[in-house]
Every structure is written in C-alpha cells, then in structure tokens.
Amino acid sequence: MNEVPFLEEAVPLFDTHKQRGQKTAKDVVIKINSFSFGDTLAATPTIRKLAECYAKKIIVCTSKPFLFDHNPNVLFTIHLNDFNNEHYDHYEVFDTFNSIGREDRSGIEKKYAAYDIRKIHCTEIGFDLRPEELHCDYYPGLIEFSKEDQSFLSNNNYVVMHIGQNWPSRTWPRENYVNLINALNSSGFKVALVGFDQKSEPGQYNHDKTCYDFEDLKFDGLSFLNRTSLDQDYYITKNSEACITMDTGQLHLAGCTDTHIIYMGASVHPLWRAPYRNGSQSYKMTFVGGTCKSFCASDPKYSVVEHSTINSVPPLPFCLEGRPNYDCQPSWKDVFDETLKILK
C-alpha cells in the first residue's frame, strides 16, 4: 500500500480560502489610554499595521484627536472622555497604554520609561513591529502663515529649538538655551523657537508643561512660542536645517519629517524614544547626552529601590542616583558643537 504523505492528509492550520487583509464585520477601534502628545503620536505605526491587516480604516479613541485629522488610515476619532462600555459591544476594541503608565490597585503607577514608546501599543494588542515599520506618521492640513512668518520661513537657513519645561530631569536650564541661541546666531544661523503650554496629564509624576519666557530675549530669529498650530509647527520643523529638542512631543513630531534631529539626553534611554526613520534610529539623528549614562528612569532596579517591586515606576522627575545636578543632560557647548557638525 502506498503511504500518503502526512501533509496531504493533515487538516490545514489556516483557512486558505480567506484572503489576507479580509474585512471584518465590525469596525476596529484602537483606544489609546494616554494623555500625552508623544505617547499618542507613537501609536501611528500600530494604527497603520491594523489598517493593513484589516484592510480598512481604523477608528481612534484618543485624548488628542487633532493628531489624526488627516491620517489616511483613520476612519474617525472618538474622544477618550466620550468612550463608554457600549462601544465594546459595537466595535472590535483594542486598548493600548492600558497597563503601562496607569496606576494599579496598590496606587503605584506602572512604569513606561523602560519600554520602546512605539512598541507599547502593538505589544499590548498582541503583535510586534519590525524596525522598518516603526516610523511615526503625521499628516498636516492646509498650512498658512502671516507675511512676516512666511518671509522668515522662506529662507530655511534656521534651526528649530523646542523650548519647554517638563519633569525636572527632562528640563534643560533656561541659561543653556540662551547660550546656545547666542552661539548659533554668532555662527550665522537663525533660530526658530517652538513650543506651547500644556496642562498636567493625569498621573503620579506629571507636571505642567510650559515654555520658558523669552519675550525680552533679543536674538536673530523668530519666536513661535504659544502661537502656532501643530500643522504649522510641523512645517516649521520640516523646513528647517535641524531640530534641537529633548524627550518631548516635539521629538516625535520631528521624527515624522526628514529633518536632522539633535536629541538632547535625559533620564530616559534613547533606545526607547529616538524616532525610527528608514528602519533605523540613527538616520539623521544625533544624540547628545551628559556625563551620567545610567538612564535611571529606564532602569527597573530603581523601581525595586523605590517601591520594592519591579512592576512599578521609579520617581521619574528626579535624579535617582542622588546627584545634585542632572548630569544625564548635555552641556550647551556639547549641543552646539554637535549641531555645528551637522550644519557645516
């Protein structure tokens, strides 16, 4: 008797009649449980993958709906405050940032600085993304500027600098910005200051995010602080020679452009925050760190020290090495030297 090969007798593990990307009956919702600009923008690789897998546009539930106004992968948005349990009956809902950065039953906020900011979203759903899939997307609408602003922007011989205050460990001293602006001006480069004030997000270690007051600072350039839309900020950044920023929403927005980024280090490891472009975190990216390389906010040993459990977040705003200064941050001179290498 002739033996029949096993594979010919076996029941197929997958239904070969179904096509990849076949549409499902229910619309798909990704519910982003974060109030942070950067965390939310970091969900765009996951949204793009969901749209590809389901062959349909995705509904996004978010606290930042304006980030998705023109995204071709998004059907429409639901504000996070308007989401209720009935939505789970009508849609296929995927929650992200549901266990990370949220408080557990003990009242301890779970850590998120020890994860790749983009992979938090996809891994909580149940899949991973390859490096070439991890780039973030932002799609601006119609962008208009005043004649004065457009005149400045028409000559792209300027550097964008994000001027913002965050956690103490992620806030560069004001005098560093002033020294850096003056040094760039002395080298023949104009400076565009960007940033806007934001109210504190829910969470144990969050602070109001505000811009430094530079109204009285005389410099060669233009201040766009607290007077631009996100679309305008995107254009200003995209049109610039380089963008200088710390670990902020501006870092992730710049990652949606082809502009060279000078990423100023702090307590979070750059591997978890540096944007992916062209499948790499090194593409048009210069990381400038300080003398301390502990990246304590991303090291789970400090969770144990603070809360006696690894499944918690350390006190992110502060130096967990007990140093009087934030030595994880670079000097203004180091940032200037690295920026000059890019500009020349």
pLDDT tens per residue across all 344 residues of the chain: 444 444 444 444 444 445 555 556 799 999 999 888 999 999 999 999 999 999 999 999 999 999 999 999 999 999 999 999 888 899 999 999 876 555 554 555 556 677 899 999 999 999 999 999 999 999 999 999 999 999 999 987 899 999 988 888 889 999 999 999 999 999 999 999 999 887 666 554 556 678 888 888 999 999 999 999 999 999 999 999 999 999 999 999 999 999 999 999 999 999 999 999 999 999 999 999 999 999 988 888 888 888 888 877 766 778 888 888 899 999 999 999 999 999 97
Q: Is residue 7 part of a domain?
A: no
Statement to judge: residues 302 and 260 lie in one domain: yes
Q: Which of 91, 106, 133 is the last residue of a domain?
A: 133
Q: Which of 80, 105, 133 is the last residue of a domain?
A: 133
Question: How many structural domains compose the chain?
Answer: 2
Q: What are 49's two structure tokens?
A: 């993958």
Q: Which of 133, 163, 196 is the last residue of a domain?
A: 133
Statement to judge: residues 267 and 183 lie in one domain: yes
Statement to judge: residues 195 and 318 lie in one domain: yes
Statement to judge: residues 333 and 194 lie in one domain: yes
Statement to judge: residues 127 and 151 lie in one domain: no
Q: Is residue 303 part of a domain?
A: yes
Q: What is the CA radius of gyration of the chain?
A: 22
Statement to judge: residues 70 and 154 lie in one domain: no
pLDDT at 330: 98
Q: What share of the chain is helix, strand, coil (3-state, %, to 5)?
A: 30, 15, 55
Statement to judge: residues 314 and 174 lie in one domain: yes
Rounded Cα distance, 275 and 255, in Å: 5
Statement to judge: residues 328 and 196 lie in one domain: yes
pLDDT at 315: 67
Report the CATH number at residue 274. 3.40.50.2000
- CA-CA distances (angstroms) from residue 72 to 58, 68, 104, 277? 9, 9, 35, 19
Statement to judge: residues 182 and 208 lie in one domain: yes
- Residue by residue, DSSP assigns 15-84 as -TTSPTTPPPSS-EEEEE----HHHHHTTHHHHHHHHHHHTS-EEEEES-GGGGTT-TTEEEEEEGGG--
Q: Is residue 13 part of a domain?
A: no
Q: Is residue 302 part of a domain?
A: yes
Q: Is residue 139 part of a domain?
A: no
Which residues form the domain of 186?
147-343
pTM value is 0.88
Please choose, from the candidates 36, 27, 43, 23, the residue with its C-alpha nearest in 3D space to the C-alpha of residue 93: 27
pLDDT at 24: 63
Statement to judge: residues 112 and 195 lie in one domain: no
Rounded Cα distance, 212 and 170, in Å: 14
Tokens 């934030």: give the residue: 326
Statement to judge: residues 122 and 174 lie in one domain: no
Statement to judge: residues 303 and 160 lie in one domain: yes
